[in-house]
Amino acid sequence: MDAVTAILKNMRIKIVLIILMLACATFNPQFSHASTSQTDATLETFWGKFKLAVTKGDKEGVANMSEFPIGMPYGFRKIKTRVEMLKRYREVFNVQVNAVKCFADARPTVDATVKNQFTIGCKDKAGNETVVYGFGKTRGIWKFKYLDNLNE
């Protein structure tokens, strides 16, 4: 029963976070789902290169634009090294979502209150936008940092 209770508690926390994010998107004019107008040009340049690498299936290119360890959703091990990323590439970009299809029209989501970060939201196989790719800027360089599924 303890495992079930822990899972339910985890789900409640994620639901509350989703509700808070939606409330921020509705009531905070600084938060934008589709706008990167408040960001620097390096974000747009990075996103274009990353999206192209994923679209082409360029595993090496994606690994070069990633920061390890890469955080993964509940139930998945973190990706600790470049070699592991190359082996688990399909798991990151094809198992929970079709990243190529998602990235085709996706625009970075920037929260002006969180410096040097953006996310890309994708729909899961059920059509719900619950899969999130997270990116961050460290020492002036944008990198892919995590994958999360808000339902897990």
The model carries a pTM of 0.73
Closest of 149, 90, 103 to residue 125, by C-alpha: 149
Q: Name the fold adopted by 33-149.
A: Nuclear Transport Factor 2; Chain: A, (3.10.450)
DSSP string, the chain: -HHHHHHHHHHHHHHHHHHHHHHHHHH-TTEESS--TTS-HHHHHHHHHHHHHHHHT-HHHHHHTEEEEEE--TTS--B-SHHHHHHHHHIIIIISS-HHHHHHH---BEETTSTTEEEEEEE-TTS-EEEEEEEEEETTEEEEEEEEETT-
Q: Which residues of the chain have pLDDT under 70?
A: 1-39, 152
Distance CA(40)–CA(45), nearest Å, equals 9
Residue 108 tokens, joined: 């970075």
pLDDT of residue 9: 55
From residue 27, how far is each of 23, 115, 132 by CA, in Å?
Answer: 6, 19, 22
pLDDT of residue 13: 52
Cβ atoms of 67 and 138 closer than 8 Å? yes
